[in-house]
Every structure is written in structure tokens, then in C-alpha cells.
Amino acid sequence: MKITFCCTDIKPGPWIEDLRAALPEAEVSVWQPGDPQADYALVWAPPQQFMDEQPGLKAMFNLGAGVDGLLRLKLPAGAAVVRIEDAGMAVQMAEYVCQAVIRHFREIDAYEAGMARGEWGFRKPRRRSDFPVGVMGLGVLGQRVARALAHFEFPVNGWSRSPRELEGITTYSGAQGFGDFLGASRVLVNLLPLTPDTRDILNADTFSRLLPGAYVINVARGDHLVEQDLIDQIDSGHLAGATLDVFRTEPLPADHAFRRHPRIKLTPHASARTLREDSLAQMIGKLQALARGEPLTGVVESHRGY
Ligand code: NDP
Ligand code: OXD
């Protein structure tokens, strides 16, 4: 079995060593233009040239959960695209979203600012029931986030493409459920894949349907968000603020308006990192399942875009 590694911005050394140790019978190498055909590939943001030169790939393992970057390319016709399912990302995402929701709900910024000014004082406790959280996307990550928020006793709504039943979560689905979902939510968390249906979904119309004083958390993709609509709705007071981990342009330009907005909190696409050991264990398990002719989970349906 020949495995090639073609990942932008990821140091290949440790991945290659671990793959060779786990699969001693496999030929594992870092892709170079002109290389012979491989059977399988580990990929992250590969160039089109890689796809053009590897028409015989049987499967590509994406080193992330989101495959929007990969699906922009023309892919080898016979290659299955396999994405990471959790592998340590879901708990990170749950931590990140819970901290953002709790920080907002408990007014930690206001407390910290007061302490920095030399004050000592309490704010009126807010009611959790006034802060229903809506999670867009109830897949591997969205479900974990919704469950974690429910554990902190927030009312939680969830929205997905197809109907889902989750204990303790009020669920909505499809275009027909979107308005009711938004109208019942005061904090909006985006965990959708980026597809033609979801691009720009965080826009003025979506925000206007949320409960007043709503808060937006985007941890999925920058292209979900219409940036100026977010700024306008925060400045108008309809939105209380936002926490953003992903951006249309990454790295976020140093002079971007988000960087100096007092009500927008930023992190550099760090909410849930790919963990090498966990991801490789999952990929190796799937390579072995493929060799035994077994079906895989996490295979992307390109017509849906995720
Ligand atoms: P999944 O594929 O497991 O889940 C996707 C969810 O979105 C499903 O519930 C799906 O509905 C729903 N969905 C898709 N299209 C629509 C639509 N048009 N309308 C309503 N719901 C829709 O993905 P993951 O949970 O693993 O990951 C989600 C995204 O998180 C990734 O695509 C990636 O962009 C982002 N991500 C960001 C990271 C970061 O560091 N910031 C790290 C990892 C991922 P259904 O259940 O019906 O299929
Ligand atoms: C992913 C990401 O999709 O890190 O895994 O954004």
C-alpha cells in the first residue's frame, strides 16, 4: 500500500514517522511533484496539481473536519474523501463554546474592566432561562457542544438539515424550521459545514430574527458570516457582541475592523485543533477497515458538500 502526505502548513515529519510505525508494510512518503501514483493520501489544503497527478487515489484522508477547501478542487473521480470525525476535536469545541457563552452570560468582561478600574461591586445575576442558546449544525461537533451547554443548564435549541432527536435539546430542521429556531435563540453558535447552502448564512436577516440582545459565536468557517452585517447589528445594539474564531481571510489582516471592535472577541482559528495521535489512530483504523473491504464512516457526500 502506498500512502502519500500532501498537507500545507503541517510539518510532515511526525506524521510520517507515526504512520510508518503503525503500518510497517506501507510505503509512506511526502508528496513531491512528479511522484508515482499512491493508493491513499493524507491531505490538508493540497494544490490542484496534486489532484491532477494522482488520478488513481482510492481515498483521501482530510486532516480536518471541514472539507470545504478540498471540495473547491477538481478531485480524482474514484477517490473517497474521508474527514476527521471528532478525534479529540469535539471536547475542545465544547470547551471553547461554553467559555464564550459563559463569559458573555456571566458578564466577566464587565467584572474584569471594573476590577481594572479599582472597583469592587456585583452585577444583578442574570437568568439562564433568558439566554437560550441555538446551535446551528447538529453533527459530531454541534451535538457535543449542545450537550455541554445543556449540562450547564442553558436552554438549548439545535438546527440541522434533517430532523434529529436529542435528549434535552429542542430541535428544528430545514428551511421551514430556521425561523422558529432563530426566534427561540438569544445566543447563536455556528457549527455548520461551509456549503453553497450555508455560505453567508450569518447575515442581517438571520440576526434580525434572533431575540434582542443576541450574541453570535462563529466557530465554523469565515465565509458563513457577512462581516459588515455583524458590525452593523452590534453597533445598532440589536446584537450584544460576538466571539469569532474563523474569518473570510486567514490570517485575519492586522488592520481588520474586527481587531479593534470592543464587542468582538477573536481567536486565530484555534477553537478545535487537529490532534495528531487521535487523528492518526482514526485514519489508520479506517485504512485497515478499507483493506478488509469494510464500509467507512465520515465519507463526504460531495453532492451535499459535507
Ligand atoms: P458534521 O458533518 O458532523 O455536521 C454537520 C451538521 O450541519 C449536520 O447536523 C448537518 O445536518 C448540518 N447541516 C449541513 N448543512 C445544513 C443546512 N443546509 N442546513 C441545516 N443544517 C445543515 O460536521 P462537524 O460537526 O464535524 O463539523 C462542523 C464544521 O465545524 C466543519 O465543517 C468545519 O467547518 C467546522 N470546524 C471548525 C473548527 C475550528 O477550529 N474552528 C474545527 C473543526 C471543524 P444533518 O445532521 O441533517 O446532516
Ligand atoms: C477543521 C478545522 O475543519 O480545523 O478541522 O477548521
Fold agreement (2-87+274-291, 89-266): yes
Single out the residue of 280, 284, 294, 238 nearest to residue 263, CA to CA: 238
The domain covering 2-87+274-291 belongs, at the CATH homologous superfamily level, to: NAD(P)-binding Rossmann-like Domain (3.40.50.720)
Task: Give, as one character, the DSSP assignment of residue 129.
Answer: G
Give the model confidence (pLDDT) of 227-284 as tens digits: 999 999 999 999 999 999 999 999 999 999 999 999 999 999 999 999 999 999 999 9
70: which 3 cell numbers?
478540498
- Cα torsion through 113, 118, 121, 123, rounded to 10: -10
C-alpha cell at 219: 466557530
Task: For residue 120, count other CB atoms closer than 10 A to its CB.
Answer: 6
* Confidence band, pLDDT 50/70/90 cuts, at residue 135: very high
C-alpha of residue 166 to centroid of ligand 2, in Å: 24
Which residue from 31, 19, 32 is spatially nearest to 282, judged by alpha carbons? 19
Q: Are strands 27-30 and 133-136 parallel, antiparallel or unpaired?
A: unpaired
pLDDT digits (tens, 9 = 90+) for 162-207: 999 999 999 999 999 999 999 999 999 999 999 999 999 999 999 9
Topology, domain 89-266: Rossmann fold (3.40.50)
41 — pLDDT class (breaks 50, 70, 90) = very high
Burial class (CB in 10 A: 0-12, 13-18, 19+), 15: buried
Instruction: Return the closest-CA partner of residue 273 out of 296, 300, 305, 246.
Output: 246
> Is-above-0.95 flag for pTM?
yes
Tally of CB atoms within 10 A around 59: 19
- Structure confidence by residue, pLDDT tens digits, 78-133: 999 999 999 999 999 999 999 999 999 999 999 999 999 999 999 999 999 999 99
Ligand 1 contact, 94 CB (< 6 A): no
Tell me the Cα Rg of the chain: 21
Measured CA to CA, the distance from residue 9 to residue 24 in angstroms comes to 26
- Rounded CA separation 152/133 (Å): 11
The per-residue pLDDT for 111 is 98
Percent of the chain at pLDDT exceeding 90 = 100
Place of cell 461537533: 141
Pocket perturbation via mutation, ligand 2, pick of 274, 278, 279, 282 by most ligand atoms within 8 A of CB: 274
CB distance 104 to ligand 1 below 6 Å:
no
| The pLDDT of residue 303 | 93
Where are the domains positioned within the chain?
2-87+274-291, 89-266
| Ligand 2 centroid to residue 63 C-alpha, Å | 8
Q: Output the CA angle 181-186-191, nearest 5 degrees.
A: 65
Q: Which of 34-38, 76-80, 289-293 has the lowest mean pLDDT?
A: 289-293
pLDDT at 65: 98
Confidence of residue 33 (pLDDT cuts 50, 70, 90): very high
pLDDT of residue 29: 97
Nine cell digits for residue 193: 459545514
Residue 264 near ligand 1, beta carbon < 6 Å:
no
CA 96 – ligand 2 centroid, Å: 14
Atom of ligand 2 nearest to the CA of 84: 5
